[in-house]
Amino acid sequence: MAPRRKRRHRHAGLRVDLCREGVRLGSEVIPLLAGSIHYFRLEPRDWRPALQSLKSLGLRLVDAYVPWSVHERGPGDYDFGEHDEKLDIVGFLRIVSELGLFAIVRPGPHVNAELTQFGIPERVLWSRECQARSAGGRAVVLPVPPLAFPVPSYASEAFHTEVAQWLQAVSAELGPLCWPVGPIVLLQVDNEGAMYFRDGVYDQDYHPDAIARYRTFLQRKYRSIALLREAHADEAVTFAQIEPPRSMTAATADELAPHLDWAEFQEELLASAFSRMREALSVSSLGAIPTSHNLPLCEGLTPLDPERVGRAVDLIGLDYYHGASAPMRSEIARRTSDLSVRSELREHPAFACELGAGFPPFLPPLSDEDNAFTAMTALAYGLRGFNVYMAVERDRWIGAPIDRHGKRRASSLFWERLVSAIERTRFYHLHRDTPVYVVVPRSYRRLCRVLHAFGPLSPALFHLMGGGAEEACLEDDFGPDGPVVMEAARFLRGIERALDRRGVPFAVINGDLLGYALEHGQWTILVSSGALGPDLIARLDKALGDGHKVLLGPRWPERDATLRPLGQKARELVSRLKNRAELVSDVGALEGAVERAQAALTLPRVVAEPSELVVTLHRDADGSVRVAFVINPTEAELVARIPEIRKSAVDALDGEEIRGQPEGLSLRVPRRSVRMLELPPA
């Protein structure tokens, strides 16, 4: 992925832009440390106390949804406080500005926010022209409490017309409040855009406008009718008449191309919809503000392709709602390491658009312990900014650190201490070295979606409920001689375990970041299910020619990203790969491969004893370790010994001094917790 050219955001001769440390306002940089307040759910008399309490936590930004359905009185008629004072978003933001705070605004159109119908007006959702369509042509319904509702089509021209009218009305209200005149410094486009969680490949969208866009997508991709007919194995098909697959009908790998094309089109559909929404917001001064989008849990198993979404908005962030456990530690590490690398490439902070503080009542409960573990673990793996969601209590939410009247609760002390530690250590200036990159191609994730065997549960929902989504595939007939997706999933988990056991710092990243890995890493490990795009094969060939060390597994590539046999040129490159790269097919052999690479490349080793603990180190520009995290995901308190750290340290949150020892730093780490240690400069 090439570095993306930054947009320049100008207002009154000054510039609002993103940088590695946060958001730059002229010559001042504000770290991206925010808290969510839903002004429309609070009494206006409570706005100021709530904002003052949020500021007392050390947070500098206020995050606020602006929900369409709440503000709309009728088509084209909106209430921004003229009738209901709770909807005076301008008045709320003026208090934000008076208190010296800044604002992130999120006008949707989808906001979720645990609102009935996710913030879309009922009249829009019940408009047939606006509704997403199932394979059978019916409205697609999301069965979410407290009321199921039909979801909109992000291809529908009628829906985009309605959205543009709403976003232009919001722009007229909020445009005059952009920095430096007002507090708005970041603008989110839509919310968790995973097709309203009906994201199975054949769930939707068979709206006529979507099918027309699908045909255009195929014409751009294949360019000639001959190539399309070859790929889809259909001599009669045309660009004007081709229909998308409506269920899994492929019996062999040779028949998967239409299904993979449909899955890829869904990725393109979402990204192009975000671009249209961003353009609708650009009619006022809001067009001078950087834009963002938040990816939900299990984003890798949805149609949200971060590379495509990154073309539509300036900043990509993640939502975090995890429990405290060993599997969740791995999941947080996996998600955050990709976000960290992607953000580093863009020179932006790795940002959690929603970092859970509490939970909605219709999802499994999360304790304060879970929230703290998630926040600290995400920071350990490269997160550099976050939005506490929810900072202030409201209906349909349990466990916020500030109540709806602005009074702080006991749990707020953790967030105050954490923000203080981040500011004191200037944590957003530090970096975590990852000499090893584990690369997961987008084509593999797409294949997981297409071959998912547990519909109507999508792979993302299946994973969220505790299933092994990558291993829940229709596999028997789709590999050259075995269940390739299952094998690749086991390879990925196996290499992660082997690297963790050896204490080798690593990052798991998507395939579009392969170039970054080859340029910045010492060792690149590519998950290959036997299908790999010729572009990735060519990159590997060049890297191997330059002396880079590469491991593939569990299979050499034999097919391209759409499961078609590789062409002659790609086959020749694979033949060269076999002579220069290492292949490991047996998961049991991965530990030995890591040991060999560690010796040959002198890879760093960061370990703690006992082995259940995990340590990450964060260095300053001079290479000195300034912050270390010690993660204990187990159910028992453990006494950690860290041989790599011999000097004294201070617990960054509670101030406990931990004396250095010649044999390594020793400290207690409570069950299901993370300790953040502050170390003096070298």
User: And the tokens for 28?
Assistant: 């001042």
Provide the sign of the torsion angle of the four alpha carbons 629, 631, 637, 639, taken in this order.
Answer: negative
Could you tell me the domains of the chain?
66-313 (3.20.20.80), 436-601 (3.40.50), 614-678 (2.60.40.1180)
| pLDDT higher than threshold 60 for residue 11 | no
Side chain identity at 120, as an amino acid letter?
Answer: I
User: And the tokens for 510?
Assistant: 């998507």
Cα–Cα dist 166/227, whole Å? 42
| pLDDT higher than threshold 50 for residue 4 | no
- Residue 7's pLDDT is 46
| pLDDT higher than threshold 60 for residue 469 | no
Alpha-carbon 516 to chain mean position: 18
User: And the tokens for 48?
Assistant: 């100021």
Cα–Cα dist 279/587, whole Å? 48
Does residue 509 sit in helix, strand or coil?
Answer: strand
| pLDDT higher than threshold 90 for residue 478 | no
Residue 2, phi-psi category: left (phi > 0), alpha (psi -120 to 50), beta (remainder): beta
Q: From residue 575, how far is each of 394, 524, 534 by CA, in Å?
A: 60, 19, 13
Backbone phi, psi, residue 273, to 5°: -65, -40
Cα–Cα dist 444/454, whole Å? 18
Cα–Cα dist 368/530, whole Å? 43
Q: CB-based contacts of 276: which residues, under 8 Å, 6+ apart? A: 160, 163, 164
Task: Write down how long the chain is.
Answer: 682
pLDDT in tens, 505-535: 999 999 999 999 999 999 999 999 999 999 9
Share of the chain above pLDDT 70, in %: 94
pLDDT in tens, 117-127: 999 999 999 99
Q: Determine how β-strand 673-678 pairs with β-strand 625-632.
A: antiparallel
The string over 33-57, giving b where at least 16 C-beta atoms fall within 10 Å of a residue's C-beta and e elsewhere, is bbbbbbbbbbebebbebbbebbbeb
Q: From residue 676, how far is each of 185, 474, 597, 629, 650 by CA, in Å?
A: 30, 43, 30, 5, 8
Q: Which of 414, 270, 422, 442 is nearest to 349 (CA)?
A: 422
How far from each other are the two terminal CA atoms of the chain, in whole angstroms? Answer: 35
Q: From residue 337, how far is each of 13, 318, 340, 383, 620 by CA, in Å?
A: 36, 11, 5, 8, 18
- Residue 466's pLDDT is 66
- Residue 481's pLDDT is 46
* Sheet with 506-510, edge to edge strand ranges: 506-510, 436-440, 523-528, 549-554, 582-583
Cα–Cα dist 268/244, whole Å? 15
Beta-bridged to residue 629, according to DSSP, are 616, 676
Q: Which of 351, 368, 376, 362 is nearest to 411 (CA)?
A: 368
Side chain identity at 196, as an amino acid letter?
Answer: Y
pLDDT in tens, 558-601: 999 999 999 999 999 999 999 999 999 999 999 999 999 999 99
Q: Where is pLDDT greater, at 188 or 660?
A: 188
User: And the tokens for 527?
Assistant: 């998950």
* pLDDT category of residue 356 using cuts at 50, 70 and 90: very high
- Residue 5's pLDDT is 41
Q: What is the mean pLDDT of residues 224-243?
A: 95
Residue 664, phi-psi category: left (phi > 0), alpha (psi -120 to 50), beta (remainder): left
Quick one: which H or E segment has residue 188? strand 184-188
Q: What is the mean pLDDT of residues 621-636?
A: 96
pLDDT in tens, 603-615: 999 999 999 999 9
75: number of Cβ within 10 Å: 10
* pLDDT category of residue 166 using cuts at 50, 70 and 90: very high
Q: What is the mean pLDDT of residues 418-437?
A: 97
pLDDT in tens, 391-402: 999 999 999 999
Q: What is the mean pLDDT of residues 655-669?
A: 94
| pLDDT higher than threshold 50 for residue 97 | yes
What predicted TM-score, i.e. pTM, was given to this entire model? 0.95
- Residue 283's pLDDT is 83
Kindly report the average pLDDT of the chain as a whole number.
93
| pLDDT higher than threshold 90 for residue 142 | yes
- Residue 682's pLDDT is 74
Are the beta carbons of 553 and 486 closer than 8 angstroms?
no
* pLDDT category of residue 363 using cuts at 50, 70 and 90: confident
| pLDDT higher than threshold 80 for residue 35 | yes
- Helical segments of 99-151, H only: 122-125
